[in-house]
Chain A
Amino acid sequence: MAKQLTIFVENRSGRLKSISENLQQSNIDIRAFTIQDKGDYGLLKLIVDRPDEAYLALADLGCACALKDILAISVPDQPGNFHRLTSALAGHNINVIDAYGFVLQPHHTGVCCMEIDQPQLMKAEEIVTEAGFQVLQDEELYSL
């Protein structure tokens, strides 16, 4: 399964910079990111080439951060595919906590990253695979 790095960031100027600065110093490549906004703070979610190293670099600074298994699903960039994916999950009562997508050029490979509650995570992986999608493992995701 793919790993997502989640970082607790206060909602004030300069905080993102301090994190990006440290990732840059560790030469970490960022594949994708999103921020879940919670008002006075946000959760910065990153897909990076070396998640363990990135985690340690930030944890050493005293950051509150966590590595988490997520579903990274390869979704061909065509109309209707996202709907197929969500239908498969909904059909089995799987709740998605948070999700974000990105498209890798030039192959038009869509990637959908989904956070699923831990107890449902393995089941969700099976469902998505059965529905014909490819669940990307760590290495596959970073080497796209």
Chain B
Amino acid sequence: MEVPFWNKEIETLDRASLEKIQLERLREALVWAFRTPFYSKKLSQAGIKTSDDIKGLEDLRRIPFTVKDDLRRSFPKGLLSVDMSEVVRVHSSSGTTGIPTVIYFSRDDVDRWTDLIARCIVATGASSRDIFQNMMTYGLFTGGLGLHYGAERVGMTVIPISGGNTKRQLQVMKDFQTTALHITPSYLLHIHSQLQAEGIDLADLSLSRALIGAEPHSENTRRKIEDLLQIQAFNSYGLSELNGPGVAFECVYRQDMHVWEDAYIVEIIDPDTGENIEDGQEGEIVLTNLIREAAPILRYRTRDLAFLHAEPCPCGRTHRRLSRIRGRTDDMLIIGGVNVFPSQIEERIMKIPEVATNYQIHVDKKGALDRLTVKVEIYPKLFLGEASKLEALRQHIKEEVRSSIVINPVIELHEPGSLPVSEGKAKRVVDERPKE
């Protein structure tokens, strides 16, 4: 397989040299961090007086974790390390819990981030020859603009269409013969059902690859996307606290995502004890941003669960690979006393061909007991018009889910396209149990 590189030297750098860069940049990041009200206090409380206190990478562990609530409490300027006049970009999270979080970029920060995104794009095999339809939301959310800048740097033909307005998306795909998409997996599956509804033949389009992200999804969902749309789908990982998309991206081998370790220090910890876990074992991802001066973030607890691959990737990159996100420490549902991650359910139902592209997990109370309902849409092409087959399907889904999570779910079958799809991040889990 041809393995394209954006910056081969850095991407294939030996471990020792990579760690040398990490240490240099970590010290610099500490200098930036000391300029912020939040970290100057936090670091001195931990006994770190200057960046010189970090002598080796092992000293990273002396730095306390940063959590989402720290960012909320520091809103709006507690993490700002430069004068506002040096800030060229602000991104902010929507603040689903009420208080938003914000990050700032200097001109150099945008430049470094853009270069990383270019690296991600090229790693997937995309190039300046691609027509790139960027269907991720533009605006305060980092997904749209992040990829936009990187794609321009690669020299792709960028269509900055943003998310939503599906009919227009399809028209643009046809008019410009789009070859590459950047999109959430749930929206891409919705796009597929709309292509069918509009009677648009894949042969009339030129789609060849999709960069998917912003939503955890299973390997089976990826396969489904690839089968239905006859494209290659590349998983990605990022979060605005760590610049946005491009923290980790799949290469042409599509065997999990390379974390760009010259830009981020990645750790996996036990979410209960905070202790570091060795490669190959699942835990919470902790990331340190080495390339953002204006709003430094050290040892950020992402609440995402994954593991690092211990063995190297056949592509030759030395940057370690992160598994797909296997759940969140905070999206875990406790149903009838059993811990359930929505991803466990998704993994099972998405491998069933008769199940279409959308699903919803619904939890409520029936009397004193928790009740789990999994709502799935049936796939029209495999509908044979027989009630007995549908009931067998219902039973099959039920057994698949039960064998994975040990809870007996209620399975509801729904019409194709009937479950709510937000044209962006899908609302997969609805928990209607009364709080407390």
Contacts and interface: CB of A to CB of B under 8 A. Distances in A.
A68 B378 CA distance: 18
Contacts of B385: 4, 6, 43, 65-68
A108 to B, nearest CB: 30
Contact of B388 (A6, A9, A64, A97): A97
Pick from B196, B378, B383, B412 the residue with the most CB of A within 10 Å.
B383
Contacts of B383: 8, 64-66
A108 B193 CA distance: 45
B196 A62 contact: yes
Interface string A32-62: 0000101011010000000000000001111
Given A6-B385, A68-B385, A97-B386, A63 B199 contact: no
Given A8-B415, A64-B416, A38 B390 contact: yes
A98 to B, nearest CB: 7
Interface string A10-28: 1000010000000000000
A62 B384 contact: no
Contacts of A4: 385
Contact of B415 (A59, A60, A63, A66): A63
Interface in B102-125: none
Nearest to B380: A64
Nearest to B377: A64
Interface in B360-380: 378-380
B387 A36 contact: yes
Nearest to B193: A62
B392 to A, nearest CB: 12
A104 B199 CA distance: 38
Interface string B390-418: 11000000000000000000001111111
B196 A38 contact: no
A37 to B, nearest CB: 9
A9 B383 CA distance: 12
B387 A60 contact: no
B289 to A, nearest CB: 43
A10 B416 contact: no
B197 interface: yes
Nearest to B413: A41
Contact of A65 (B380, B387, B391): B380
Contact of B380 (A40, A59, A97): A59
A60 B391 contact: no
Pick from A38, A64, A65, A68 the residue with the most CB of B within 10 Å.
A64
Nearest to A56: B199
Interface string A62-89: 1111111000000000000000000000
A60 B381 CA distance: 11
A8 to B, nearest CB: 6
B380 A63 contact: yes
Nearest to B417: A62
B199 A60 contact: yes
A64 B380 CA distance: 4
Give the top 4 A-B pairs by smallest Cβ distance, nearest first. Answer: A6-B385, A66-B385, A64-B383, A64-B380
Interface of B: 193, 196-197, 199, 378-380, 383-388, 390-391, 412-418
Interface of A: 4, 6, 8-10, 15, 36, 38, 40-41, 43, 59-68, 97-98
14 contacts: A4-B385, A6-B386, A8-B378, A8-B390, A8-B413, A38-B390, A62-B193, A62-B416, A64-B378, A65-B383, A65-B385, A68-B385, A97-B386, A97-B388
Given A8-B383, A59-B380, A66-B384, 4 more contacts: A8-B415, A9-B415, A38-B387, A41-B413
